């Protein structure tokens, strides 16, 4: 495997899990930043540090490339990798819109290679817990799913290498709806399927911010269920991340994020015992009137994504995340932008958007 980019994504969310999987070998990393090049050499001494994607793709010992670079570069880099007859993992969002993602999927099919969208938050411990409760039937048929990802980031000025996250150009795919939105939309769709309508409010709340930093999406589904999704960088007191209402009971989560990102950023590795676990003070509850039951949170497991990648490439298994699923997420984001711009509810049909 080769890795393009060694910022937060490459160093925290990708490289540690590639290294932890015995089926995968990291052979080269593309980065031009001197500090990051030094970090790669220190942490991954067996991997070559190269200065360009062309240099990486010239290697003969490469089966798959991970693209974890600014969002606007995802499509051209993914296409270059696929056309070199390699599989590719692409950070979310795969593309700035559904049409571009469909083009990537078409090239993957032509090349008989797989494009793996990196939707790792499917394996957050709290979301794994919600899915487990649903699969056991403990909530009954779902009626309303509320998912929140609220942060307190009052200063919009990013570090220089993160300046692209404030780029207002639509092609930059910047803003909180592109950063956190793919995660919460993907989670909602896994629980409820493809939505029928999308309503969105996209706003800028912080002084000096240049792109969306506060977003709300309301999705409706066949059968009457709804999803309310909130993403914000301007919330000083976050609400519980999950509030999942079923006919028979309601699951109420906690405000804390899955611990894996913080552990990885602190230098811990996913091979440690009890990886991804949280204490009982960070467990949610199942409620039905006066009946309240504490629900232990399942361990988070981002490594499941790369185990799935290995099974797909080596054993022809189904991908852990499909391009069809990622395209649907982007169709929702396309509809959200239109809804917010026009102040309308947008109906989401197969391949088309209607007011």
Please answer whether residues 287 and 268 qualify as being in contact, where contact means their C-beta atoms are separated by less than 8 angstroms.
Answer: no
Give per-residue pLDDT as tens, 282-326: 999 999 999 999 999 999 999 999 999 999 999 999 999 999 999
Specify the pTM: 0.95
pLDDT mean across residues, the chain: 95
Q: CA 113 to CA 305: how far, in whole Å?
A: 17
Domain ranges of the chain: 2-119, 121-306+331-346
Cross-sheet strand order for the sheet of 64-67 = 48-50, 28-30, 2-4, 64-67, 87-91, 115-118
According to the model, what pLDDT value does residue 163 have?
Answer: 75
Give per-residue pLDDT as tens, 239-274: 999 999 999 999 999 999 999 999 999 999 999 999
pLDDT interval class at 168 (50, 70, 90): confident
Superfamily of 2-119 according to CATH? NAD(P)-binding Rossmann-like Domain (3.40.50.720)
Give per-residue pLDDT as tens, 188-202: 999 999 999 999 999
Q: Nearest Cα to 65, choosing from 86, 44, 95, 35?
A: 86
Angstrom CA distances, 332 to 128, 153, 199, 206, stand at: 22, 25, 10, 25
pLDDT interval class at 146 (50, 70, 90): very high
According to the model, what pLDDT value does residue 165 have?
Answer: 81
**For 269, phi and psi rounded to 5 degrees?**
-125, 150
With respect to CATH, is domain 121-306+331-346 assigned 3.30.360.10? yes
Percentage of the chain exceeding pLDDT 90: 90
According to the model, what pLDDT value does residue 170 have?
Answer: 82
Please answer whether residues 333 and 93 qualify as being in contact, where contact means their C-beta atoms are separated by less than 8 angstroms.
Answer: yes
For 46-54, what is the mean pLDDT?
A: 97
Reading the block at residue 153, the tokens are 């980031």
Bigger pLDDT: 203 vs 157: 203
Give per-residue pLDDT as tens, 214-233: 999 999 999 999 999 999 99
């Amino acid at each position: 495997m080769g890795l393009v980019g060694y910022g937060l994504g490459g160093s925290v969310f990708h490289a540690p899990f590639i290294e932890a999987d015995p089926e995968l070998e990291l052979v080269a990393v593309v980065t031009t930043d001197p500090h990051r090049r030094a970090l790669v050499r220190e942490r991954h001494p067996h991997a070559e540090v190269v200065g360009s994607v062309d240099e990486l793709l010239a290697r003969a010992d490469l089966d798959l490339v991970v693209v974890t670079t600014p969002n606007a570069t995802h499509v051209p880099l993914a296409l270059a990798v696929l056309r070199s007859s390699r599989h590719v993992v692409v950070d979310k969002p795969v593309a700035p819109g559904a049409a571009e993602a469909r083009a990537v999927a078409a090239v993957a099919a032509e090349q008989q290679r797989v494009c793996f969208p990196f939707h790792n938050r499917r394996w957050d411990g709290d979301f794994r817990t919600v899915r487990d409760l649903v699969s056991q039937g403990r909530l009954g048929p779902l009626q309303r799913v509320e998912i929140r990802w609220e942060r307190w980031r009052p200063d919009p000025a990013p570090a220089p290498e993160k300046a692209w996250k404030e780029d207002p150009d639509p092609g930059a795919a910047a803003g909180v709806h592109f950063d956190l939105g793919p995660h919460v939309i993907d989670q909602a769709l896994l629980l409820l399927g493809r939505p029928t309508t999308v309503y969105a409010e996209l706003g800028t709340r912080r002084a000096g911010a240049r792109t969306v930093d506060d977003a709300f999406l309301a999705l409706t589904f066949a059968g009457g269920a709804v999803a309310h999704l909130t993403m914000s960088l301007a919330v000083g007191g976050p609400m519980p991340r999950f509030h999942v209402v079923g006919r028979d009971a309601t699951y109420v989560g906690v405000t804390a994020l899955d611990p894996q990102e913080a552990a990885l950023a602190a230098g811990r590795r996913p091979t440690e015992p009890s990886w991804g676990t949280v204490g009982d003070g960070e467990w949610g509850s199942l409620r039905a009137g006066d009946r309240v039951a504490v629900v232990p949170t399942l361990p988070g497991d981002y490594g499941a994504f790369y185990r799935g990648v290995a099974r797909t490439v080596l054993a022809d298994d189904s991908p852990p995340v499909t391009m069809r699923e990622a395209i649907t997420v982007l169709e929702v984001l396309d509809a959200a932008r239109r809804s917010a711009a026009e102040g309308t509810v947008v109906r989401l049909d197969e391949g088309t958007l209607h007011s």
